[in-house]
Structure 1
């Protein structure tokens, strides 16, 4: 590959391996560390960043690429659908109920495909385009697959998307509407991941025992936009952290509560906040809280045990309907747990009933539609408030990572169940 074909920003220096600390040229290395197979993280020379809070404030608030000096690729090279620049909405009813100074909801449901995944796919598909890819591929719980198909269409690339059959109808349908090659797999996101790797690397020797095989696997030339296989998805999502701090007039909130599956978005917020602090834009960074569903909470379990890494949840033990955060084996949990500890935050799990109730509460008291899965941030924040995690004057930011209209069946079904239960209690005098 010709290095001159890759357009990068001035401050983007290298891809740094978080495991072995090796540094790699982003024009030559595209995915995992060639030295040890570790996760690569875009590294920046912040001294070369000339932007200031004043110059940022003067720019139109129209997409995440307004932070191009802190992204790997310039705006001129971006594969973009105007992702980012989402509102930070004050929620006084939630603040009163939690007993805190202020609650804000960062509404990522306003993104082009209705999810924060658009930030990561914009960055990852831009990288694919810069590296002259023809086809991208990934497995996903649902939203990232839909997003990847949209951004691949924008870049005139083919997208191969592996989804579990429990993925939402909207995500499956829109993946195909965007022209993606949709492949549904029975089971969970881990099963979709196995199918993805079989296509990319070929089935294992155990799978092919007694059969003839030869030639390259089908997906040998596919460019991966999988979480932490590409170095760029979490880097695009750090712009959520940039935006939250800018929208609060360059003041850090006391806490950020994030609905957590693989934890990529929370790590992105952590990185974005630290960049702004190192640049002198803010004085502090927020405490980060991972919110999960009790039916699949490997990060919370690891945090409560004081472990450095999670233990995978067996698929037979997954009991949550919150598909978007039902990630039984989050590969970057050591990074996530470190970020939570460094920030002074924590982790919390609530049951599906509390999560869905929280989605209805936000819709009825604040008028904001949030995703069923995303409401784990709200129910988690209520639980944290009950535990005394927040002070009376604290500012708390909740992330709504996806649009409520992707989960209309789940939300309406829960509403019906709740109304039926209420009617039954009225009839029995309970």
Structure 2
């Protein structure tokens, strides 16, 4: 494998067993825990000037803090997305600055491209020929796109509720698409059955591969650097499996370890009331969630009733003095429309849970008047434009 100098292997976040990256590929063999890439931070020689002197062209500009060298990356210049100042929304929330990190500008329209780039790169380094994953939609589209670029076969399992755009584009990218049941759990079960028959298929499943959250952590690097190294007071993140949230939390810890920043932002998980296991666990003071028996939200991307990384997510919220908030579907759709009409930015319904959550947090007095609050828009609104238009039509607009 062609890895970066500081990348020393993988470690289980539960039992702490370590793995050589050439041998460990997915979950811990001892306890089934999530594996996390580890680095020798003493061997990383970077400062703020290091990054100022580089083109702001893709997530791979942070190669010293990534597992693989840029010259072996499977990339379409993902990342380097804008952080947009939204003064009208800041006034409405009663904060000094409101930022939206707009991940809709990625190649396939969502932040999933960051994780797909890193995970498909890992697959090629491990000699894979086929990749497989279940997805609520966007991750499947991203995986099929990056697999196509790498010359790999992709096998994508989506629930029937996944949007037409993502289903269509999996096929357009040459992916082998299977639609199974109505929800993400059905797609996951179908993918597991298929993989048992094809053990050589390389899994790109969320938090099964160690590399998707590693690609997504770069959102935090960019957000801080784009603000001239000023750390936002709060980051509100639309949370289902929470892969991006734990990645950004890890990134903040890394940059503090390297002396690039002094403080951590407060992380807030935003969910829909119809499926809010993280919010329920946080409010109850638990360190792990209870699965939601009957999830029910229009926001399919965050309708994850049993998030496997809940302990890590809750650690991120607690250790950064953050929190968790849930809002109703109607409020979430209203927030997507408000962002589009007040600032021009397009948020998919799932992503707008972060905007709706930020409004709710502001109304509860969570933010101060001089705060800088960042919302992560994980995907472009045109992925589910029909849902947003139907919401407007239901209001007689």
1:88 alignment partner in structure 2 = 83
1:264 alignment partner in structure 2 = 243
Q: How many residues are aligned here?
A: 397
Query: How much does 1:38 deviate?
Result: 1.3
Q: Structure 2: how far apart are the matches of 1:319 and 1:140?
A: 17
Alignment of 1:7-406 (within 5 A): 7-201=2-196, 217=197, 219-314=198-293, 317-406=294-383
Query: How much does 1:283 deviate?
Result: 1.1
Moved over 4 A (4+): none
Once the two structures are superposed, residues 56-114 of structure 1 have per-residue CA deviations (whole angstroms, 9 ceiling, x without a partner) of 01111110000000000010010001100000000001100010010000000000000
Which of 408, 419, 422 is equivalent to 2:396? 419
Residues 115 and 403 in structure 1, CA contact (< 8 A), matched pair in contact too: yes
1:424 alignment partner in structure 2 = none
Q: Structure 1: how far apart are the matches of 2:317 and 2:39?
A: 22
Q: Structure 1: how far apart are the matches of 2:278 and 2:182?
A: 21
Q: Structure 1: how far apart are the matches of 2:153 and 2:144?
A: 8
Q: Structure 2: how far apart are the matches of 1:10 and 1:293?
A: 41
Structure 1 unaligned spans of 5+: 1-5, 202-216, 421-430
Q: Structure 2: how far apart are the matches of 1:413 and 1:355?
A: 14
Query: How much does 1:36 deviate?
Result: 2.2
TM-score by length of 1: 0.91
Residues 91 and 105 in structure 1, CA contact (< 8 A), matched pair in contact too: yes
Structure 2 unaligned spans of 5+: none
Q: Structure 2: how far apart are the matches of 1:404 and 1:261?
A: 18
Query: How much does 1:154 deviate?
Result: 0.4
TM-score by length of 2: 0.99
Would you say 1:407 and 2:375 are equivalent positions? no
Secondary structure, counterpart of 2:38 in structure 1: strand
Q: Structure 1: how far apart are the matches of 2:374 and 2:102?
A: 10
Query: How much does 1:419 deviate?
Result: 2.8
Q: Structure 1: how far apart are the matches of 2:30 and 2:288?
A: 22
Cα-Cα RMSD: 0.8
Query: How much does 1:318 deviate?
Result: 2.0
Larger radius of gyration: 1
Q: Structure 1: how far apart are the matches of 2:286 and 2:184?
A: 24
